Amino acid sequence: MKRGTLFLIVVGIMVWTGVVSCSKPNRVQILAYQKAILNTRADKDRFFATYPDSPLLPVQRMNFKGLRYYRPDIDYKVTAVFTPAKTAGSFQIQTSSGRPRVYVVLGQLNFSLKGHKLTLTAYQEKDLLAKHPDDLFVPFTDLTSDKTTYGGGRYLDVKSKGSGSRQVTLDFNMAFNPYCAYNHNYSCPIPPPVNHLPVAVKAGEKKFIAIK
């Protein structure tokens, strides 16, 4: 199973990080941020269209015109306080194939988004935890799920360093679909109910529509 994580690690470094959430960005910063997001999306489209590791089926790649997204909105880039779990207990996450996968609960992310105080739980696949202890896997659904966005939820990959409570960036403009949104041959984690956000997150990747 692939989450698209490897691809995002490659292109994610291209996203401009000069906008800090503790101060209101000016117009120049906003335009630079939007351009960086659009460039990253263009790179992802090229990956999907041309690379051997693309999750698209050959027939999908023949008619692929690009993924669908909400327009970049810097208000969906927020600072969250990450509080590590006191005990990193194992947790079985259901998948699209029906075979559960074992993840570890790493902690909680508390943040405000457009006036709403929200919480998401962060995980990591148990087999990857030793190699990637600072990587937070954040699957979520919201009020757009199965409407304008993929019904199986979307993912965020978040970097966190240090110990104890700390601040991390959640950029919902980088929310992406699991590979099973394009190809049912993949087995993808389904966001647990605790990670259902009671708001519409109108940012990031939209529902994939294949052109036949």
Residue 212's pLDDT is what? 63
Residue at 4: amino acid letter: G
pLDDT tens-digit readout, 87-112: 878 889 999 988 899 999 999 999 99
Residue 128's pLDDT is what? 87
Residue at 210: amino acid letter: A
Residue 16's pLDDT is what? 42
Mean pLDDT of the chain: 88
The DSSP output letter for 128 is G
pLDDT exceeds cutoff 60 at 66: yes
> How much of the chain, in percent, has pLDDT values that exceed 90?
73
Side-chain-facing half-sphere of 111: CA atoms under 13 Å: 25
The DSSP output letter for 10 is H
pLDDT tens-digit readout, 166-188: 899 999 999 999 999 999 999 99
